Amino acid sequence: MSFFHAGPAPQSGGPRPGALRDGLNLAAGMKVGLFGGSFNPAHDGHAHVAETALRRLDLDRVIWLVSPQNPLKDRHQTAPLAERMQSARTVARPPHMVVSDFETRVGTSWTVDTLRVLKRRHPGVRFVWLMGSDNLESFHRWRGWTDIMRMMPVAVVARPGSLLESRSAPAARRFAGQRVSSSEARMLPLMSAPAWTYLTAPLNPSSSTALRAAKWP
């Protein structure tokens, strides 16, 4: 595994003019975590994942990509986008976290397509895909999941109830040889994909399922 990108060196002078249209305000050389999901609703457990990644990976920013509709989830159980965007804004911590409807803006439904557009629009940005360990368990069911692993580094943050299962998940086994020690996590944004790490931190038990059950018994 090659540890460092061989692409162009970071450039100064701020974001490219075309990149400003998506509202992300990214510049080459930035280390940016991409945290996608329905956030139906967002909660402190999501914030825990984002904050752990921001700190442990030494990221400049975490972008919360609020999906218009998760293709793997029931549309009738998903709140309107505006409501989910607002719930994400209540727990995301600015200025280093940004809540975005990027997928709605560009018309993508699948994560793999969203990441391709982001990389094309923002060359030189060092993206890392972020997920909780509960998502790693089913990651092999996502469309183009191996493409995602080969497209950018991935950081998995431990979540309650999924620690043992996620470590033996198909994706973890498939890319076992590309796993990076958590002690080297700060270097992950600079590594060439496939490269991934598993981060443990004090666990936050919040879940969207429990919050929805409390709201809609």
Residue-level pLDDT at 23: 80
pLDDT at residue 114, rounded to an integer: 97
pLDDT band, residue 164 (cuts 50/70/90): low
Residue 8 lies in a domain: no
Task: Determine, yes or no, domain membership for 22.
Answer: no
Contacts of 147 (CB under 8 A, 6+ apart): 112
> Does residue 37 come out as left (phi exceeding 0), alpha (psi in the -120 to 50 range) or beta?
left
* CB-based burial label for 117 (10 Å; 0-12, 13-18, 19+): middle
Please report, as a single letter, which amino acid is at residue 156. Answer: V
What mean pLDDT is predicted for residues 163-191? 90
Rounded distance between C-alpha atoms, residue 119 and residue 117, angstroms = 6
- Please give the helix or strand (H or E) that residue 8 lies within, else none: none
Does any domain span residue 192?
yes
Q: What is the pLDDT of residue 203?
A: 64
Residue 177 included in any domain: yes
Asked if residue 181 belongs to a domain, the reply is yes
Where do we find the tokens 């919040």? 206
CATH number for position 67? 3.40.50.620
Q: Is the pLDDT of residue 208 over 70?
A: no
Mean pLDDT value across the chain: 84
Which of the four pLDDT bands, split at 50, 70 and 90, describes residue 14? very low
Q: Is the pLDDT of residue 146 over 90?
A: yes
Domain count, the chain: 1
Among 15-24, 26-35, 67-76, whose mean pLDDT is lowest? 15-24
Q: What is the pLDDT of residues 34-54, one digit of tens each?
A: 999 999 999 999 999 999 999
pLDDT at residue 77, rounded to an integer: 73
Query: Is 11 part of any domain?
Result: no
201 pLDDT higher than 70: yes
**CA neighbours closer than 13 Å in the CB half-sphere of residue 207:** 12
**Structural contact between residues 18 and 6, judged by C-beta atoms closer than 8 angstroms:** no
Question: With left for phi above 0 and alpha for psi between -120 and 50, is residue 18 left, alpha or beta?
Answer: alpha
Three-class SS of residue 167?
helix
The domain in which residue 183 lies consists of 27-215
The percent of residues above 70 in pLDDT, for the chain, comes to 78
Dump pLDDT digits (tens) for 58-92: 999 999 999 997 655 666 678 999 999 999 999 99
Which pTM was predicted?
0.82
- 10 within some domain: no
Q: Is residue 123 part of a domain?
A: yes
